[in-house]
Homo-oligomer: A and B are copies of this chain.
Amino acid sequence: MAKIAVVGGTGDLGSAIARSLVKAGHQVSIGSRKAESAAQHAAELGGQVGHGVNAEVAAGADFVIVTVPYAAQAGTLRDIKDAVGQAIVIDTTVPLVPPKVMRVQLPAAGCAALEAREHLGPDVRLVSAFHNVAAHKLAEGHGVDCDVLVFSDDVEARTEVVSLVASMGLRGLAAGSLANSAAAEALTSILIFFNKTYKADGAGVRFTGLTTAPPIS
C-alpha cells in the first residue's frame, strides 16, 4: 500500500488511474488547481480518498502522478516542485499539439519527459509512464490490453513504478532512460490514428518475445 497523489486527478486519465489505484488498495489523494474540484472528484471515488490543491496533495506522498494536458505541464510541475521531496514523480504527459493530435509532434527537447526534468530540476526522482493506456478502458475496470512503458534515468525509481503498475493489474515494462519516453509519447498519436482508421475503441500496444517479462494478465 502506497500513498499516492494524482495531480490533475480530475481529468479523464487522472480519474481512471485514481480509480484503479483505490481498487488496488492504495491510499489516494486527488489534486487539482481548484480545491473544490478536487474535493468533488475525491468524493466520487469514496470516503477514503484525500483531496487538495496540487502542491498540498503532493507533499508527503510516495508517488505523485501528474496527469495534465501538455499545455499545463510546465505550470503544474513548477507548482509541485518544492513539495514533492523524495516522492517519485510519474509524469504521464503526451506532447499532443491540437488540433493535429494524430500527428507526432515531439518538442525540441526530444520529449515531454525531458521537459519535465527541466521543469523539476535535477534532484526530483522522475519517471514517465502511462502514455498509451486509454483512460476510458482503464476506468471501465475490466483490464486493459496495453503494456505500460516505464522510463527513468533512476533505475530504482523505475523498478518501483513497474511494481506500482503491476499492482493495478497492468503489465509495466522498464523501457530505458527518460529520453526513451519519446517512443511512448509518439505512439499515442499512432494509437489515436488507429482509433479512427481501424475503428478501435481504445487501441493499445503489446510487446512480444519478452522471455523474462511478467506475463500478460
Interface of A with B (CB < 8 Å)? Answer: 102-106, 110-111, 145-146, 149, 173-177, 179-183, 186-187, 189-191, 193-194, 197-213
Contacts and interface: CB of A to CB of B under 8 A. Distances in A.
Contact of A104 (B179, B190, B198, B212): B179
B189 A103 contact: no
A186 B206 CA distance: 16
Nearest to A111: B104
Contacts of A207: 191, 194, 203-206
A208 B103 contact: no
A113 to B, nearest CB: 10
Nearest to A106: B182
Contacts of A180: 102-104, 186, 189-190, 193
Contact of A182 (B104, B179, B204, B211): B104
B206 A211 contact: no
B106 A106 contact: yes
Given A198-B213, A199-B212, A186 B193 contact: no
Nearest to A183: B186
